[in-house]
């Protein structure tokens, strides 16, 4: 577990550090894209929740979990570059300033989130509703951990 978390952490760092390809994304677009990612993930979390509380459609849950895991693992760290700490024009950011001073802690929370989302996708593929319930809850906790610390109300 430790080894794979470390690998994931390096993976997250590696993707974030691969700025060559991402460096041309303007700050306002970085804010826009990260908000798009969180928004789309929230739709998919909502779908899984509805499936857990109502009629369980395993394929729908699997697709939703895959979307969440893939978005989580797509190197969103690159969307928190210089200039994205403040609102830009109509684009409002809810990220607290201290986020940018605590990148090590942010990296840890991101790693936790990534691992939970990856596990959710893996478990969703099995069709095991009870296991999905647990993994879904665990994933939500990782979302909350970052939101509680770094997202303004």
In the complex, the residues that contact a copy of itself under the rule CB under 8 A are 11, 14-15, 18, 20-22, 24-25, 29, 32-33, 35-37, 39-40, 43-44, 46-47, 50-51, 54-55, 57, 59-60, 63-64, 66-67, 69-71, 73-75, 79
- Give the nearest distance from C-beta 101 to a copy of itself in angstroms: 25
Kindly report the number of other CB atoms within 10 A of residue 82's CB atom: 8
Is 7 annotated to bind ligand? no
Q: Which residues in 36-48 are b (16+ Cβ under 10 Å) and which e?
A: ebeeebeebbebb
Report, in angstroms and rounded to the nearest whole number, the Rg of the chain calculated over CA atoms.
Answer: 16
- Give the nearest distance from C-beta 136 to a copy of itself in angstroms: 13
- Give which of 116, 117, 119, 125 is closest to 63, Cα–Cα: 125
- Give the nearest distance from C-beta 110 to a copy of itself in angstroms: 13
Distance CA 41, CA 117 (A): 10
Nearer to a copy of itself, 42 or 101 (CB): 42
Q: Which residues are annotated as a binding site?
A: 143, 146-147
């Amino acid at each position: 577990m430790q080894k794979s978390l470390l690998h994931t952490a390096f993976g997250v760092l590696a993707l974030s550090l691969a700025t060559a390809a991402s460096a041309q994304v303007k700050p306002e677009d970085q804010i826009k894209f990260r908000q798009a990612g969180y928004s789309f993930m929230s739709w998919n979390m909502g779908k899984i929740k509805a499936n857990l509380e109502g009629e369980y459609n395993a394929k729908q849950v699997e697709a939703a979990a895959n979307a969440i895991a893939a978005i989580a693992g797509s190197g969103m760290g690159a969307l928190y570059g210089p200039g994205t700490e403040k609102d830009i024009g109509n684009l409002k950011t809810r990220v607290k300033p201290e986020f940018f001073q605590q990148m090590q802690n942010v990296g840890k929370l991101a790693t936790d989130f990534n691992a939970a989302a990856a596990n959710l996708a893996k478990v969703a593929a099995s069709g095991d509703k009870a296991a999905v319930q647990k993994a879904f809850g665990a994933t939500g906790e990782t979302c909350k951990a970052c939101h509680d610390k770094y997202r303004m109300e």
